[in-house]
Every structure is written in structure tokens, then in C-alpha cells.
Amino acid sequence: MANPIAWQLATVVAIRDETPSVRSFTLGLPGWPGHRSGQHVDVRLTAEDGYSVERSYSIASEPEREGEVDITVEQIPGGEVSPFLHEVVVVGDRFEVRGPIGGYFVWQAALGGPLLLVAGGSGVVPLMAMIRHRHRAGLEVPTRLLFSSRHADEIIFRDELDELASAEDGFEVIHTLTRSRPSGWSGYDRRIDQRMLGEVLEPLGVGARVYICGPTALVEVAANALVRLGVPPDRVRTERFGPTGT
């Protein structure tokens, strides 16, 4: 019997706004055992009266950073935990965390590529851990991120993704916006569909490893389309969140 994954006390050491509704929290965890990109943590909050809640959040940071992890959290209106993290938590606050958790939706250098990453909204978070790992480890695995957001100002990690892509080391980001487009927008402007996936997959070929994370509808469309395009189902890994990820 394995030892339980222990709860640790995390200290919030930095908070960063990513978009108007998405915020990253750097959690200092001196006893952090390390993780693989794509894994998540459980967060537990406890009130004075003993009332306690738990939620799972994907880790956004790469494994190369020691003793801390970033979680990137979208505020869900009416939620119980995300509004608390956004509106109440300040640097120096502490709460309980345990992890890393999850052993399938992970990517590390040894798995190789090429890599096709498909994200919808905050589904980009575990994929960002893979992209950051690829960069920090100096890997040149051909990697394309197809990233669907509703509006341009809701694109999470936009500047960092642009900067990583500008290195021209085999990483490319392809955006699509589904609700509104700024003038001069040159990316896709519709929901992810099979034709779009075919175009984005083409330079990588059907031997790509695929990771898809986003709302259920996006994940279903993308995974089914990629299988129809010839990617073997066992090379397509998915992670989904419903509208309840509060």
C-alpha cells in the first residue's frame, strides 16, 4: 500500500492577472515532491467552523521550478472556491494543497513528439505546463498549440505564448476566436472543427501525440475529428471540464 499523498501547507507568494477573469497564483510548497506537466493539485479550504471544501486545479508551471507551483484559476460567477481565490486571497495567505495527482494526461520529454495541443479557454493551463517544460528543458519537439478563446482579451498567457513562439524553435501557436474579433485579426474566427484541425495537424502528421483540454463540447469535436483524420485513438489524450469547475 502506497503512502497517502499528504496535505501540505501552501503559501501564496505571487498573484498575477492573466485576463479579466483568470488569475495565476504561485504557491510556495517547500516539501513539493515534483510533478509532471499535465498533473493537477487538490486544494482544500477550511472555515473557522470546520466547514471544508476541496477542488482540483491543473498545475500551470513546469516541473523544473522547485519548491513552488503555479495554479491558474478562472473565476466562475456564483462558484464557491474560485471567487474566494480571486477576491479574498492575497500574497502571504496559506491554504492546504496535495499532489501531484493524475498520471495519464501528462507529457514529458521522454514521450517525444511531435505534439499537437488543443485548448479551449482555461483548458490551456495543463498544456501550458507542457509548453513551459518543453522550453525550459531546451527541447525542440515540433509542437503546435491550437487555442480557442471567445474574445481576444480572454486569451490566457497570450504574451508568453507569443514570446515562446517567436523563438522559432519548433513551437507555434494558432489562435481561433469564437465570439468577437479585433480589427485586423488574422487567426481563425470560428469554433474548432475538422477542417481547422486538419490544417493545423498537417505539418505534424498523423503520428502526432495529441493532448486536448477544454469544455466537453470542444473536446468531443476535436477528439472525434482527429481520429477521423487518422490519428490513432490511443495517441489522443483528453481532459475535460464541465461548467461546474467552480
Partner 1 sequence: MTERFVTRGFVGRPNQPGAGDTRDRVPPGQYLTTDFPVLSAGPTPRTSLDSWSFTIEGLVRAPMTWTWPELMALENREWVVDISCVTKWTKLDMRWRGVSVDTLLENVDLEDKAAFVIAYSDGGYTTNLPLGDVLNGQAFVAWEYDGKPLAPEHGGPARLVVPGRYFWKSAKWVRGFRVQERDQPGFWESLGYHNRGDQWLEERYSGD
> What residues make contact with partner 1 under the rule CB under 8 A?
1-7, 9, 42, 44-48, 50-56, 80, 84, 88-89, 93-96, 101-105, 216, 219-220, 223-224, 226-227, 233-234, 236-244, 246
Instruction: Quote the least distance from Cβ 220 to partner 1, whole Å.
Output: 6
Nearer to partner 1, 54 or 189 (CB): 54
Separation between Cα atoms, residue 58 and residue 78, nearest integer Å: 21
Nearer to partner 1, 57 or 147 (CB): 57
Contact 25, 12 (CB under 8 A): yes
Instruction: Quote the least distance from Cβ 184 to partner 1, whole Å.
Output: 36
Nearer to partner 1, 50 or 184 (CB): 50
Instruction: Quote the least distance from Cβ 226 to partner 1, whole Å.
Output: 7
Nearer to partner 1, 161 or 208 (CB): 208
Instruction: Quote the least distance from Cβ 2 to partner 1, whole Å.
Output: 4
Helices (H) and strands (E) in the chain, counts: 5, 11
Nearer to partner 1, 101 or 206 (CB): 101
Contact 42, 97 (CB under 8 A): yes
Nearer to partner 1, 89 or 139 (CB): 89
For residue 52, the number of C-alpha atoms closer than 13 Å in the C-beta half-sphere is: 9
Instruction: Quote the least distance from Cβ 177 to partner 1, whole Å.
Output: 24
DSSP state of 107: B
Separation between Cα atoms, residue 226 and residue 70, nearest integer Å: 30
Separation between Cα atoms, residue 52 and residue 44, nearest integer Å: 7
Nine-digit cell at 126? 495543463
Closest CA to 69 of 60, 80, 77, 57: 60
Instruction: Quote the least distance from Cβ 103 to partner 1, whole Å.
Output: 4
Instruction: Quote the least distance from Cβ 196 to partner 1, whole Å.
Output: 17
For residue 217, the number of C-alpha atoms closer than 13 Å in the C-beta half-sphere is: 6
Nearer to partner 1, 5 or 167 (CB): 5
Element (DSSP H or E) covering residue 82: helix 82-87
Contact 21, 107 (CB under 8 A): no
